[in-house]
Amino acid sequence: MTAPVLADALGPRSRRQARVASVAAAVVIVGVAALFVRRLQDRGQFDAALWRPFTIWGTWKFLLIGLLTTLKAAGLAMALSLALGTLLALGRLARSFVVRLPAVVFVEFFRGLPLYVLILFCGFGLIDVGLEISKFQALVLGLTLYNSAILGEVFRAGILSLDRGQTEAAFAVGLGYWEAMLLVVVPQAFRRMIPAIVSQLVTLLKDTSLGFVILVEELLRRSQLAGQFFSNPLQAYAIAALMYVIVNYSLSRLARRLEIRQRRRYSAGAIQVTGVEDLAIVGAQAEAAQAQAEG
């Protein structure tokens, strides 16, 4: 870890203060951690018996199948959201009001709902009124409705960040509106949005855990079942959390790397994605870019 710019080249007094603060902070951090460990130990949470299930391949297989379901739901929802999101972005940027209106309504509607409620709606509400879909399909449907609204905004930001000359050149060589969009604008916008898409994939992966409220057997549900079966909820949930962190942290790193590369490539115009949940901010950036383009 490199020292941040703010704290470089401290003077002798500040260096002394920093050393004192370091020691004090280390003592406090270690002390609090030790207290927690002690308390957990007093309750016997480190007993081998509670951890033993996780030395058996069968338990891991059970959890890994859950992880596979999680990845499958996330991958499927991502693919569907990318397709639907592209259509929504193009719809929102279309000149015709009749095309624009439904896209705007769809995006604003589904972006404003908690995913939890959407998944309840797909998993219980729709099935309640007689729609025949599996719980897994209901989960993917809920994730897709929500994420296509978000990715639609991401795409719109990407398209608006492109130089206007690209569209003008496409028109100049005689392409029609939709040809220009599909052959010239969308491929470039898509490349620009790759870091944002990977970063949204992290959010999407985390969100699949909501499948457990409609009893889809993804990673969280399976760790819940394992915790109930072995009566060790703390250990089971901790292992599940660790698995999520490993997958998501790698993806977050990848998104960050891609973003830095992207920024170097386009210097300006890359959309900032880190530190933002749901990329709702990208929508705001899109608004700003559009306002700039229009006047």
Partner 1 sequence: MNIVVDNFDAYVGGMVDTIVLTLLSFALAFVVGTVVAGFRVSPVPPLRAAGTAYVNIVRNTPLAVLMVLFWFGLLPNLGFRFSRFWAGIFVLTAYTGTFVAEAVRAGINSVAVGQAEAGRSLGLTFPATLGQVIMPQAMRTVVQPLGSIFIALIKNSALVTIISVPNLTKAGEDIGTKSADLFGSIVGVGLAYLVLTLPAGAAVGWIERRVAFRR
Pick from 159, 202, 214, 258 the residue near partner 1 by CB under 8 A: 202
- Written as one letter, the residue type at 111 is R
In the complex with partner 1, the residue whose CB is nearer, 241 or 293, is 241
Taking CB under 8 A as the rule, which mask of x and - marks residues 95-134 in contact with partner 1? -------------xx--xxxxxxx-xx--xxx-xx-----
Residue 269 binds partner 1 (CB under 8 A): no
Report the site for partner 1 in 25-44 (rule: CB under 8 A). Answer: 25-26, 29, 36, 39-40, 43
In 3D space, the residue among 69, 81, 230, 53 whose CA is nearest the CA of residue 136 turns out to be 69
In the complex with partner 1, the residue whose CB is nearer, 86 or 199, is 199
Task: Compute the least distance from the CB of residue 192 to partner 1, in Å.
Answer: 19
Residue 224 binds partner 1 (CB under 8 A): yes
Report the site for partner 1 in 45-64 (rule: CB under 8 A). Answer: 45
What is the H or E stretch that residue 13 is in?
Answer: helix 12-42
HSE of 253, CA atoms in CB hemisphere, 13 A? 6
Quick one: residue 103, left, alpha or beta (phi over 0 = left, psi -120 to 50 = alpha)? alpha
Q: Are 186 and 175 in contact (CB under 8 A)?
A: no
**Number of DSSP helices (H) and strands (E) in the chain, helices first:** 14, 0
Residue 68 binds partner 1 (CB under 8 A): no
Residue 22 binds partner 1 (CB under 8 A): yes
In the complex with partner 1, the residue whose CB is nearer, 86 or 235, is 235
> What does the angle CA 106 – CA 110 – CA 114 come to, to the nearest 5 degrees?
175
In the complex with partner 1, the residue whose CB is nearer, 86 or 208, is 208
* The two structure tokens encoding residue 171: 């028109």
